Amino acid sequence: MDRLRAIVLGAAAGGGYPQWNCRCPVCQLAWDKDGRVRPRTQASLAVSVDGARWVLLNASPDLRAQLAATAALQPKSGVRGSPIAAVVLTGAEIDQIAGLLHLRERQAFAIHATREALDIVAANAIFDALAPDVVERRAVTLGEPFTVAGIGVELFAAPGKVPLYLERGDAQSDESTVNAGAELSAGGRRLVFVPGAASLTPALMARLERADIVFFDGTLFTDDEMIRTGSGAKTGRRMGHMPIDGDGGSLSALAGLPGRRIYIHINNTNPILVDGSPERRRVEAAGIEVGEDGMEIEL
Q: Quick one: pLDDT band at residue 1, thresholds 50, 70, 90?
A: low
What average pLDDT does the segment 82-101 reach? 97
How far, in Å, CA of 217 to CA of 191, rounded? Answer: 14
What average pLDDT does the segment 15-21 reach? 97
Q: What is the largest CA-CA distance in the chain?
A: 55
What average pLDDT does the segment 58-71 reach? 98
Element (H, E) at 177: strand 174-186
Question: Model pTM?
Answer: 0.96
pLDDT digits (tens, 9 = 90+) for 195-204: 999 999 999 9
Q: Quick one: pLDDT band at residue 19, thresholds 50, 70, 90?
A: very high
pLDDT at 176: 59
Cis amide linkage into residue 18, ω under 30° from 0: yes
pLDDT digits (tens, 9 = 90+) for 238-274: 899 999 999 999 999 999 999 999 999 999 999 999 9
pLDDT at 114: 97
pLDDT at 2: 81
Q: What is the length of the chain?
A: 299
pLDDT digits (tens, 9 = 90+) for 128-139: 999 999 999 999
For the cut 80, the answer to whether the pLDDT of residue 171 exceeds it is no
For the cut 90, the answer to whether the pLDDT of residue 178 exceeds it is no
H helix intervals, the chain: 25-31, 63-69, 94-97, 115-122, 202-209, 225-228, 250-255, 278-285
Mean pLDDT of the chain: 94
What average pLDDT does the segment 38-63 reach? 98
pLDDT at 177: 67
pLDDT at 119: 96
